[in-house]
Amino acid sequence: MYKKVMAGILLAVLLITTAYLMAQDNTGQRDAQGRRGFRQRFGTWLEDIDKAYQANDWDKMGQLIEQMKQDSQRMREAGPPGADRGARVRPQIAAPAETDPVQTKSVVPASEQTIMMVLDDMFQNQRRSMMNVPPEDGKVLRLLTEALGAKTVVEIGTSNGYSGIWFCLALQKTGGRLITHDIDEGRASLARENFKKAGVDNLVTLVMGDAHETILKLEGPIDILFLDADKDGYLDYLNKLLPKVRPGGLILSHNTSMRGQMADFINAITTNPALETVFIHQDAQGLGITLKKR
Ligand SMILES: C[S@@+](CC[C@H](N)C(=O)[O-])C[C@H]1O[C@@H](n2cnc3c(N)ncnc32)[C@H](O)[C@@H]1O
C-alpha cells in the first residue's frame, strides 16, 4: 500500500515536471521540430511509466525514470538545433537527411557514422578521469590532419583513445596512420577496445612505456606531432621530435591555457624563428598550433 502511494506521488511529480518542461520548451528555445521530438519522446515515456505502474513493475519504473532524466539532461546540454556547440557539448550524430531536414548541413556521412557513435559514447560514458580533449578540439585535430593530408601522426598521451579516434576520422581518408604513446596500461587497454569498436585499430600503433624513452625509436618524417601527456615534459618531447617533424608539418600542443606549467615549452614554440604558433580555445583548455616553417 505504502509503495503504491509513493509511486502515485512520484507519477504526479513526473507529470508536473513534464508539463513544466514542455511549457519551457514552448517559449521559443527550440524550433518546431525540436518541440515535436521532445513531446513525442516524453509522451512515450509517460505512457510506459504508467504501464509499469499499473503492472506493479517497480524495477521497470526506476529504469524509465532514470532514462528520462538522462535524456532531458542531454537535450538541455545540446541546446537549440544548429546552435554553436561548445566545450561541454557532445559531438552530434545527425539523423539521416530525409528525417531531419533542419540539420541537413551536419549530416554525418555513412563512412563516419560508426566512429562518431563511438566518440559520442566515449564522451557520454568514459570521459571522467580520462582527461580527453573536448569535442571542439577533436574537430580541430581531425580538420588539420585531413587538410594536411597527413600520413604519419604521432600522439603523446593516448588515454582511452578519444583524441586518437578523432585523428583516425581524417587518417581513414588520407591513408595515414597514428602512432600513439601511453604509460598507463589501464587506459591503454580501454583505448585498444575503443579503437576496435570504432573500426580504426588497423590505423593505430599503440606504444607502451615512458614516452620520453619510447619516442627515441621513432623514425620521421612526422606530419603531425600531438602533445597531450605530462605538461612539464612538453619541451623534452619537442626537443627530441622536432628534427623528425617535416617542414610544413605541425606540432599541436594541448592544455596551453596552463601556461605556468609549460612556460619553457611556450617560450620555445613562440621564439624559434623556424616555427609559427597560434593558440586557440584559450578560454577553455587551450590548443597550440605550431607550423614548422623550414
Ligand atoms: C591528458 S591524457 C591524454 C588524453 C588523450 N589525448 C585524449 O584526448 O583522449 C594524458 C595521458 O598521458 C599519459 N602519460 C603521462 N605521462 C606519460 C609519459 N611519460 N609517457 C607516456 N604517457 C604518459 C597518461 O597516462 C594519460 O593517459
Q: Residue range 180-188: average pLDDT?
A: 98
Domain closes at, from 38, 61, 79: 79
As a whole number of angstroms, the distance between CA 87 and CA 85 comes to 7
Domain closes at, from 79, 101, 129: 79
- Give a yes or no: residue 121 inside a domain: yes
Using the mean position of ligand 1's atoms as its centre, give its distance from the Cα of residue 277 in Å.
Answer: 23
| DSSP states of 202-256 | GGEEEEES-HHHHGGG--S-EEEEEE-S-GGGHHHHHHHHGGGEEEEEEEEEE-T
- Give a yes or no: residue 198 inside a domain: yes
- Give a yes or no: residue 73 inside a domain: yes
CATH at 241? 3.40.50.150
Query: Between residues 73 and 129, which one has the greater pLDDT?
Result: 129
Number of domains in the chain: 2
Give yes or no for a contact between 217 and 242, defined as CB atoms under 8 angstroms apart.
no
Using the mean position of ligand 1's atoms as its centre, give its distance from the Cα of residue 155 in Å.
Answer: 9
- Give a yes or no: residue 88 inside a domain: no
| Ligand 1 pocket: which of 184, 207, 252, 255 to mutate (most atoms within 8 A of CB) | 184
Q: Residue range 92-106: average pLDDT?
A: 44
Confidence at 51, pLDDT banded by 50, 70, 90: low
For residue 88, which phi and psi values (nearest 5 degrees)? -85, 0
**Confidence (pLDDT) at 19:** 45
Q: In the numeric block, which cell numbers belong to residue 9?
A: 506521488
- Give a yes or no: residue 87 inside a domain: no
Per residue in 16-32, pLDDT tens? 554 444 444 443 444 44
Residue with CA closest to ligand 1 atom 7: 132
| Whether the predicted pLDDT of 181 surpasses 90 | yes
**Do 124 and 262 fall within a single domain?**
yes
**Do 161 and 39 fall within a single domain?**
no
Give yes or no for a contact between 250 and 227, defined as CB atoms under 8 angstroms apart.
no
**Confidence (pLDDT) at 73:** 57
Give yes or no for a contact between 91 and 101, defined as CB atoms under 8 angstroms apart.
no
**Do 199 and 65 fall within a single domain?**
no
Q: Which structural domain, as residue segments, surrounds residue 39?
A: 2-79
Phi-psi category of 248—alpha, beta or left, where left has phi over 0 and alpha has psi -120 to 50?
left
Residue with CA closest to ligand 1 atom 16: 230
Among the residue ranges 4-13, 58-67, 104-113, 244-253, the one predicted with the least confidence is 4-13
Residue with CA closest to ligand 1 atom 11: 157
**Confidence (pLDDT) at 67:** 64
Give yes or no for a contact between 229 and 254, defined as CB atoms under 8 angstroms apart.
no
243 prior amide bond cis, ω within 30: no
Pocket of ligand 1 (CB under 6 A): 131-133, 157, 159, 162-163, 181-184, 187, 210-212, 228-230, 233
In the chain, DSSP finds a helix count (H) and a strand count (E) of 10, 7
Question: Quick check: helix, strand or coil at residue 136?
Answer: helix
**Confidence (pLDDT) at 108:** 86
- Give a yes or no: residue 98 inside a domain: no
DSSP 201: G
Contacts of 260 (CB under 8 A, 6+ apart): none
**Do 163 and 272 fall within a single domain?**
yes
**Do 124 and 258 fall within a single domain?**
yes
Using the mean position of ligand 1's atoms as its centre, give its distance from the Cα of residue 111 in Å.
Answer: 28
Using the mean position of ligand 1's atoms as its centre, give its distance from the Cα of residue 238 in Å.
Answer: 16
- Give a yes or no: residue 48 inside a domain: yes
pTM metric for this prediction: 0.69
- Give a yes or no: residue 90 inside a domain: no
Please report which helix (H) or strand (E) contains residue 179, including its range. Answer: strand 177-182
Among the residue ranges 88-92, 196-200, 233-237, the one predicted with the least confidence is 88-92
| Whether the predicted pLDDT of 150 surpasses 50 | yes
- The CA-atom distances, in angstroms, between 162 and each of 37, 102, 129, 166 are 30, 28, 12, 7
**Do 268 and 125 fall within a single domain?**
yes
**Do 68 and 123 fall within a single domain?**
no
Confidence at 87, pLDDT banded by 50, 70, 90: very low
| DSSP states of 54-115 | HTT-HHHHHHHHHHHHHHHHHHHHH-STTPPP-TTSPPP-PPPGGG-GGGGGGPPPHHHHHH
**Do 156 and 278 fall within a single domain?**
yes
DSSP 260: G
**Do 152 and 32 fall within a single domain?**
no
Cell 524509465, located at residue: 64
